[in-house]
Structure 1
Amino acid sequence: MEFSHDDNNNLPLTKFESMLKTNHVLFFDSEEFENIIHHYLNEGKIALAKKAIKLGLQQHPTSVNLKLFKVEIYVFEDKLIQADELLNELYILEPHNEEIYIQKANIFSKKDDHLQAIDVLKKALELTDDAVDVYSLIGMEYLFLDEYEEAKVYFMKCLEEDFEDYSALYNVVYCFDFLNQTEECIEYLNLFLDKNPYCEVAWHQLGKQYFELKKYKKALASYDFAIISDDTFVGAYIERGKVLEKLNRFEDAIESYSITLKLDDPTPYALLRIGTCYEKLNNPDLAIQFYEKTLHQDPSLDKGWIAITRFYIKKRNYQRALYFINKAINIDTEHVIYWKLYSQINQRLNFYEEAERGYKRTLELGNYELNTWLSRGDLLIKLGEPQAAIYNFEQAVDFYPENAEIEYRLAGLYFTLNESDKGTFHLKNGLKYNEDYTFILDELFPEIINKVQVKDLLKANQ
């Protein structure tokens, strides 16, 4: 029996807690102690579980089940030697007690000896009347070993015994996903649903598999069946909305997402997707309203800040876009996309120093995309900082060797600084890698295009 505070049968628990307050020792039978300990372990109240075990063993010193709880605590606290010693004593008393094998397997698992754990659990299977839990434990041990095929088999066995074991169902799907067996997963889920047609979790997972294969109509049908099976299933409405978006049915998607707002507390994700749908329906007022609701609900949600910033960029309202991206950066100063947007907006506003600072920060955060190097270098050229621009492009060469766009820029910079040998070297590289990018010289370095040396090099390549 498990206790809860709403349970009319929780008298032993109340009695036990009263005893702890008064220090007046009361008697409990061993089964009552087991239920009390089980309750505290489920609640994560380890200290109270230990007290109950101690008092239980004082009153029932020969109880194997109470000693097994003691083993469980030892394993939890990584006292594996004490746990092993106590288990060996209990094995002599009850060699056919499957719980002894399960706890022995826990010890092996804690030691990362998962094969031994599996061997012991298979012995427990021969003794137990409740195979589901043992199948699940074996499945988990195979997961630790990254043996997903074997793990899948044992989680399927769990479902054969108990089709409502949703944890096992999720693990089966996880194994299929890891093995990239989408078609096989669909086949399994369809067979499972033939026997259990009202399992909303299976319909939900089937929808996700169809979505992965871009079979959106089948995915939609699966989510509809999930909702028929449980019309309060928030996850199914969310996934259904995603499919409807893919089918460009934005009004229907909004309806699906909106249902979740009534079923539970509004999720930032649903609010964000509603905003996105309204934006696609060219309803900017409602789009902004829902983007702002998203950020109010979860100010740390990066997708919300990115969506509202990009909305204003599309509207060419760069001041408003800058306002929101600055707020986002104040919350998270190490988000690469924030800094890239910050740079792009400042560049549109002709705030070149701020834009360059943003690209520099983007690079510092490990975003080494070619466009980031090029954009920052071009800004440094515009700001009249050729040496800094050269240093930037030379760093870029380490990541993008034999890149014509970088080479032409270095050539232009060196010719501008009258370092003709280096300019010639990089111009020859640029022409060798891709002669179509010579327009870079015209655009960024018009003052050097008429230099004799540059003209001769370009002519020689024609």
Structure 2
Amino acid sequence: MRENPYHEDREELQALLRQYQNLKTGRSHAFIEEDDFDRIIDHYDETDDFAEALMAAESGLEQFPYSSHLMIRKADVLLALRKYHEALETLENAELYDSTDINLFILKTDVYLALDQQDKAVEILVAALEQFEGEERLELLFELADVYDDYEEFDKVFDCLKLILEEDPNNEEALYKICFWTDFTGRNEEGIQLHQKIIDEFPYNEIAWFNLAAAYQGLKLYEKAIDAYQYAIVIEEKFDYAYRNMGDAYLRLRKYKEAIEALEKVLELSRPEDVIYEAIGHCYHRMGNFAQARFNYKKATHLNPDDSRLQYKVAVTYMLEEQWQQATKHLENAMRIHRAVADFNLAMGECMMHLNRIKEAIQYFGNVVRNKPKNQAGWEALIRCLIKADYLEEALEHCLLAITATVNKPIFIFYYSATLFQLGKSKEGLLQLEKGMEIAPKHLKKFIELNPSILQNNQVVDLVARYKKGRKG
């Protein structure tokens, strides 16, 4: 057994290169075998010295003019040098001596792709599939899949991978790839059938179980997906991607406790990621546990401090607990990253209103309507704020602006009516309320929320009752 095979191989290569240099300069040298030329070409190829690699291939062919292998090596170097037509001519010569070398067809494919002749590349690979079997046929199918991928014929990529798995159901590369392409092409039903067949034959193939689950998930059959993920995890208990996807499936079913358990297992098995902490935070948020939601959102912000949405989500948890001052700190962080986002400005405006900083609230709501004049929520917040601050003339003006900007959204007729009532213009307010009730009575609740004492106005009560009675009739 050699003590330092790497060192010995290196010495052998150096000796071989010296012999090759002697050959080039016409000095005496030991005979260089065909395999030795292969090693010399490899050396120059690995150091990206393609000109020398080409010379070595040509020198080899001078000694072994009928070597199809050296012709193929020469073509490979010509391809690297972008001499595509010369490469093709060399490959055609090689084919005359040996048409059974798979590299011949793969390199021809590469040449035609470089010449932007996809049809020719496909034609060569499809023809070669008839000639080869076993591992070589699978290699050609992978090549064909890559060609289809490059030219965005994605369904054919799926078809190639399916053929590979029909011949070799445990081919890991194909199993990993087809999971993506099943989802991408939407061919989930075929994915389910294919992987059920594989599982029938190889029930302990955890990747097939995972792919089956992912296909169910693609069809929104979340319960079946979870069952399949469970099988994958039983076979491979450290299958973090199965836990990740299972967490998502539970989340879709609104089974937040189970989702948290699955996602925490992901954190245990793999490096922490902001998206996992964010998802856990979302689950706690939906369960009404805002402190735990905030804890996980903050973990996510530490891993991804440039994601303004995460800062916003932390702020929302504080807002739901009416901790307005704390919320503003995280909204400021979010707005340092992305100042103009409508949701951030709306939330900040809401905080300012509750902190009784009305002018600042108006400023933030104003930012929303300036940047997104068709945004209904922005106009609603601004008008509510103006009414609360008793800036009634401004509120009236902004109701009219909102009606124009949002192309007659009926909510603003109710806001206009409410403002008129507060200004003491009851007759006009009643006319606008009647108009609003005719168009969209569902907004009556918001009208009342603006001024609950309006229900003490008999004319308003009569109008609403009359309208409801008419609707029942």
For the residues of structure 2 that align with 1:249 and 1:445, how far apart are their CA atoms? 39
Q: Distance in 2 between matches of 1:117 and 1:306?
A: 51
Alignment pair present for 1:394 and 2:404:
yes
Alpha-carbon distance change, 440 to 246 in structure 1, aligned in 2, over 3 angstroms? closer
> TM-score normalised to the size of structure 1?
0.71
Stretch of structure 1 that moved more, 189-198 or 378-387: 378-387
* Other-structure match for 1:90: 90
| Distance (whole Å) between structure 2 residues aligned to residue 300 and residue 377 of structure 1 | 33
**What's the CA shift string for 1:301-338, capped at 9, x where partnerless?**
45533442222222221221222222122233354543
Corresponding residue to 2:125 among 121, 127, 138: 121
Matches within 5 A, 1:22-171: 29-33=36-40, 35=42, 48-49=47-48, 51=49, 53-61=50-58, 62=61, 63-74=70-81, 82-95=82-95, 96=99, 97-108=104-115, 111=116, 114-126=118-130, 130-143=136-149, 147-171=153-177
Aligned to 2:348: 342
1:260-271 mapped onto 2 (5 Å cutoff): 260-271=266-277
Q: Conserved in 1, the CA contact under 8 Å of 2:41 and 2:54?
A: no
Structure 1 regions of 5+ residues with no counterpart?
Answer: 1-6, 41-47, 75-81, 449-453
Deviation for aligned residue 1:37:
7.0
Give 1:156 shift.
Answer: 0.9
Partners of 1:56 and 1:66 within 8 A in 2 = no
Shift of the 320–459 alpha-carbon distance from structure 1 to 2, 3 Å rule, reads closer
- Check the 8 A contact 1:241/1:252 in 2, yes or no: yes
Residue 107 of structure 2 aligns with an amino acid whose one-letter code is I
Determine if contact 2:345/2:367 at 8 Å carries over to the other structure.
yes
Q: Give the secondary-structure state (helix, strand or coil) at the position aligned to 2:204.
A: coil
The Cα of 1:238 is off from its aligned counterpart by 1.9
Q: How far apart, in 2, do the equivalents of 1:66 and 1:355 lie?
A: 72
1:294-305 → structure 2 map (5 Å cutoff): 294-302=300-308, 304-305=310-311
User: Contact 2:399–2:412 (CA<8 Å) still a contact in 1?
Assistant: no
Aligned equivalents of 1:124, 1:364: Cα separation in 2 = 63
**Structure 1 residues 395 and 460 mapped into 2: Cα distance closer, same or farther (>3 Å)?**
same
Deviates more, 1:325-334 or 1:243-252: 243-252
1:257 corresponds to? 263
Q: State the match for 2:30 in structure 1.
A: none
Aligned to 2:32: none
Deviation at 1:440, TM superposition (A): 6.8
Greater displacement, 170-179 / 234-243: 170-179
2:38 aligned partner, one-letter code:
E
SS for the counterpart of 1:231 is: coil
Q: Greater CA radius of gyration, 1 or 2?
A: 2
Equivalent runs, 1:193-204 vs 2, <5 Å: 193-204=199-210
Instruction: After superposing the two structures, state which structure 1 stretch, 245-254 or 329-338, moved more.
Output: 245-254
Q: What is the CA–CA distance in structure 1 between the aligned matches of 2:385 and 2:72, rounded to whole Å?
A: 73
Residues matched between the structures, number? 425
Deviations 1:398-456 (A, max 9, x none): xxx5x322345567889999xxxx9999889756533665787777699x9xxxxx9xx
- For 2:327, the aligned partner's letter is A
SS state of the match for residue 406, structure 2? helix
Question: 1:54/1:340 Cα in 2 relative to 1: closer, same or farther (>3 Å)?
Answer: farther
Q: Would the alpha carbon gap of residues 240 and 143 (structure 1) be closer, same or farther in structure 2, given more than 3 Å must change?
A: same
Q: Is the 8 A contact 1:325 1:338 kept in 2?
A: yes
Counterpart AA for 1:370 = Q
